[in-house]
């Protein structure tokens, strides 16, 4: 009979405790290395390309100050495009949200609406505008429609979820009076989801400002076109002028939207409007009509500013139907065995998203610990880290990919580096918020034992913040798979580049086949990341 020593017991306990983390670390390392090989990730090439990137940045300084006046109209066009896209998109999203809510819609309508929402969510706005530009031509109108359709995937789902969570007793009470379906929605559903509509619409406007810059470069015009066009002509100082306008535009929009959300949702006015008993139906109807007429008036003025005839909605869409039914259908799925580069492009896109999420997320977590008030070594370190992440967040991904393409050349390596940089700014703030929102009493109890700051972070802060951090990491993968496709259109490699080239040379049937595979790819990653996020957030053990 063998005697088990204390050392063996300790080793066995260690292996049992760290078996799962070690297994996860090994799998991640293997996938990380494989992804690096797929995209040609090379530290040596990165360091060689840095001087080229810095040289380009040097060419951008100083800005072309006399070009600021010329940038005002494109900047205004970008704001108008984002606003109109948000308004139209919110109306469409509300329709799909109502149709997709299980508590007010029949099963067939709910399933159909949810399928459309999920399909649209899997289709990046950059892909949508490629189709719209091919059918409707260049200009702000395709940009507005791309932003509007892009809202459906996000806002439609949020509105449907909000409707399903409303107080069912209110609906039952209204229905008991003999009210029809429209009256139940008008007096029972809409008043209860007003806060959700306002908050999510304002947040979507923030996103649409950034997206309108990218869409402008694809063909929608505005300040994004000025930036992309200046780079193409090597007018770097003029590009800097456009970049300054974009940064100011995004930063001011973010500040205003944050203020509006706090101002509106922190006061009782919205909640009072959400209470069907406070305001009589006649008065509520007058208030609703006032807002509807005001918004329609603003939308009309903005269409006039962009010189778009609203009748284009009814006169030009036959071009789109002709493109889809005559030129794109049926999709040419033979491209899958006729062009073997497609499989390579798919793996490149997955590798880009994975590397951008792991490396960018790790760097974002590092800056988050420096930025969080309860983990930062000093206040000025926190301020600098937050400023750096804010600057990263408002810098459009378009300018980042252009700099990396100049430094590293066209391909998935440049796209991966752009994703890494973009992930730092976007998710560093979310990580920092997760770290700051831990239970302070637990941390104070650890400090009271004489523990150092590192020990308090290790045993008090990190265990509490880890579920939220890991869930956010999976969300980053969900976002980065879409971004990888979008960056590919500008030369970042992957399936996005193949799709752009197919559209550019008018191989529309092949492009539609690639779009189908794009939807399948994004939907699959979304389902996987959503599954793990839900599991992690509902399980305290990591």
Domain boundaries, the chain: 33-62+330-542, 68-272
**d(C-alpha 245, C-alpha 224), whole Å:** 10
| pLDDT score of 273 | 40
Residue 258 has pLDDT above 60, yes or no: yes
* pLDDT band for position 184 (cuts 50, 70, 90): confident
Stretch 225-250: mean pLDDT: 87
C-alpha distances out from residue 98 to 113, 181, 225, 320, 536, Å: 9, 11, 36, 27, 30
Candidate from 83-87, 292-296, 360-364 with smallest mean pLDDT: 292-296
Residue 138 has pLDDT above 50, yes or no: yes
In this prediction, what percent of the chain has a pLDDT beyond 70? 85
What does CATH list as the number for 68-272? 1.10.3720.10
* pLDDT band for position 537 (cuts 50, 70, 90): low
| pLDDT score of 539 | 58
* pLDDT band for position 277 (cuts 50, 70, 90): very low
The per-residue pLDDT for range 470-497, each reduced to its tens digit, is 888 888 888 899 889 988 888 888 888 8
DSSP-derived secondary structure for 172-218:
HHHHTTT--HHHHIIIIIHHHHHHHHHHHHHHHHHHHHHHHHHHIII
Stretch 157-179: mean pLDDT: 81
C-alpha distances out from residue 471 to 151, 154, 356, Å: 23, 18, 16
Stretch 451-477: mean pLDDT: 85
Query: Residues for the chain: how many in total?
Result: 542
Region of residue 64 (phi > 0: left; psi between -120 and 50: alpha; otherwise: beta): beta
| pLDDT score of 339 | 73
**d(C-alpha 15, C-alpha 224), whole Å:** 54
| pLDDT score of 3 | 53
Do residues 423 and 353 make contact, with C-beta atoms less than 8 angstroms apart? no
**d(C-alpha 331, C-alpha 324), whole Å:** 10
**d(C-alpha 80, C-alpha 86), whole Å:** 10
Tokens 């406070």, residue located: 278
* pLDDT band for position 538 (cuts 50, 70, 90): low
| pLDDT score of 403 | 84
In this prediction, what percent of the chain has a pLDDT beyond 90? 7
Stretch 62-88: mean pLDDT: 87
Stretch 205-222: mean pLDDT: 85
Q: How many other β-carbons are positioned within 10 Å of the β-carbon of residue 296?
A: 11
* pLDDT band for position 272 (cuts 50, 70, 90): very low
Of 271, 293, 250, nearest in space to 426 by CA: 250
Q: Report the largest interatomic distance among the alpha carbons of the chain, rounded to a whole angstrom.
A: 91
Candidate from 54-58, 65-69, 237-241, 279-283 with smallest mean pLDDT: 279-283
Residue 455 has pLDDT above 90, yes or no: no
| pLDDT score of 276 | 38
| pLDDT score of 290 | 60
* pLDDT band for position 362 (cuts 50, 70, 90): very high
| pLDDT score of 438 | 84
* pLDDT band for position 541 (cuts 50, 70, 90): very low
CA dihedral in degrees (139, 142, 145, 149; nearest 10)? -140
**d(C-alpha 131, C-alpha 510), whole Å:** 13
Hey, what are 181's tokens?
Answer: 């379906």
Helix 68-99 to helix 223-232 angle, to the nearest 10 degrees?
Answer: 130
Residue 388 has pLDDT above 70, yes or no: yes
Q: How many CA atoms within 13 Å lie on the side-chain side of 338? A: 6
Compute and round to an integer the Cα radius of gyration of the chain. 26
The per-residue pLDDT for range 139-158, each reduced to its tens digit, is 888 888 889 988 998 888 88
Stretch 73-99: mean pLDDT: 89
What own/partner pairs with CB < 8 Å and gap ≥ 24 does 65-70 have? 65/241, 67/238, 67/241, 67/242, 68/241, 68/245, 70/226
Average pLDDT of the chain, as a whole number? 81
Q: How many CA atoms within 13 Å lie on the side-chain side of 48? A: 7
Q: How many CA atoms within 13 Å lie on the side-chain side of 78? A: 31
**pTM above 0.75?**
yes
Of 209, 259, 233, nearest in space to 75 by CA: 209
* pLDDT band for position 540 (cuts 50, 70, 90): very low
| pLDDT score of 363 | 93
Residue 288 has pLDDT above 60, yes or no: no
Residue 197 has pLDDT above 50, yes or no: yes
Class at the top of the CATH hierarchy for domain 33-62+330-542: mainly alpha
The alpha carbon dihedral of 65, 69, 70, 72 has a sign of positive
Written in H, E and C, the secondary structure of 291-326 is: HHHHHHHHHHHHHHHCCCCCCHHHHCHHHHHHHHHH
Region of residue 332 (phi > 0: left; psi between -120 and 50: alpha; otherwise: beta): beta
C-alpha distances out from residue 39 to 7, 190, 356, Å: 44, 48, 11
| pLDDT score of 286 | 53
Domain 33-62+330-542 and domain 68-272, same fold? Reply is yes
Do residues 84 and 299 make contact, with C-beta atoms less than 8 angstroms apart? yes
Residue 179 has pLDDT above 60, yes or no: yes
Stretch 324-332: mean pLDDT: 85
Q: DSSP assignment, residue 405?
A: H
Q: How many CA atoms within 13 Å lie on the side-chain side of 155? A: 31
């Amino acid at each position: 009979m063998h005697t088990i020593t204390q050392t063996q017991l300790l080793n066995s306990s260690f292996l049992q405790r760290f078996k799962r983390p070690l297994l996860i670390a090994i799998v991640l390392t293997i996938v990380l290395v494989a992804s690096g090989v797929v995209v040609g990730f090379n530290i040596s090439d990165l360091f060689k390309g840095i001087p080229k990137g810095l040289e380009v940045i040097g060419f951008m300084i100083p800005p072309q100050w006399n070009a600021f006046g010329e940038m005002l109209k494109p900047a205004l066009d970008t704001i108008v495009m984002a606003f109109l896209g948000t308004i139209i998109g919110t109306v469409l999203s509300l329709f799909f949200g109502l149709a997709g809510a299980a508590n007010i819609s029949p099963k067939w309508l709910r399933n159909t609406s949810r399928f459309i929402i999920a399909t649209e969510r899997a289709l990046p706005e950059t892909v949508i505008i490629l189709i719209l530009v091919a059918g409707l031509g260049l200009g702000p109108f395709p940009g507005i429609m791309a932003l509007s359709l892009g809202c459906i995937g996000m806002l439609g789902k949020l509105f449907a979820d909000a409707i399903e969570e409303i107080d069912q007793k209110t609906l039952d009470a209204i229905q008991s009076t003999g009210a029809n379906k429209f009256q139940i929605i008008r007096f029972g559903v809409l008043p209860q989801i007003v806060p959700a509509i306002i908050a999510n619409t304002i947040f979507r406007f923030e996103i649409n400002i950034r997206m309108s810059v990218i869409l402008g470069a694809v063909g929608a015009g505005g300040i994004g076109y000025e930036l992309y066009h200046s780079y193409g002509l090597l007018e770097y100082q003029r590009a800097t002028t456009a970049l300054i306008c974009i940064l100011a535009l995004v930063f001011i929009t973010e500040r205003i939207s944050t203020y509006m959300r706090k101002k509106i949702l922190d006061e009782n006015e919205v909640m009072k409007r959400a209470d069907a008993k406070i305001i009589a139906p006649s008065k509520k109807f007058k208030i609703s009509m006032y807002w509807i007429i005001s918004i329609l008036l603003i939308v009309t003025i903005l269409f006039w500013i962009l010189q778009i005839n609203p009748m284009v909605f009814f006169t030009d869409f036959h071009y789109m139907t002709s493109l889809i039914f005559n030129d794109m259908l049926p999709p040419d799925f033979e491209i899958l065995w006729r062009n073997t580069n497609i499989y390579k492009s798919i793996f490149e896109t997955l590798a880009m998203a994975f590397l951008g999420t792991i490396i960018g997320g790790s760097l974002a977590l590092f800056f988050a610990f420096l930025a969080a008030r309860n983990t930062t070594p000093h206040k000025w370190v926190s301020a600098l880290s937050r400023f750096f992440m804010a600057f990263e967040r408002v810098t459009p991904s378009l300018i980042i990919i252009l700099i990396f393409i100049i430094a590293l050349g066209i391909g998935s390596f440049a796209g991966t580096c752009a994703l890494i940089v973009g992930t730092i700014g976007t998710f560093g703030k979310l990580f920092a918020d997760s770290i700051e929102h831990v239970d302070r009493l637990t941390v104070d109890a650890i400090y009271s034992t004489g523990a150092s700051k590192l020990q308090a972070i290790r045993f008090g802060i990190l265990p509490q913040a880890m579920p939220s951090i890991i869930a956010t990491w999976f969300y980053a993968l969900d976002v980065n798979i879409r971004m990888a496709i979008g960056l590919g259109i500008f030369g970042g490699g992957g399936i996005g580049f193949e799709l752009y080239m197919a559209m550019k040379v008018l191989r529309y049937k092949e492009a539609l086949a690639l779009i189908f595979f794009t939807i399948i790819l994004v939907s699959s990653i979304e389902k996987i990341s959503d599954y793990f996020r839900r599991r992690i957030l509902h399980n305290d053990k990591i």
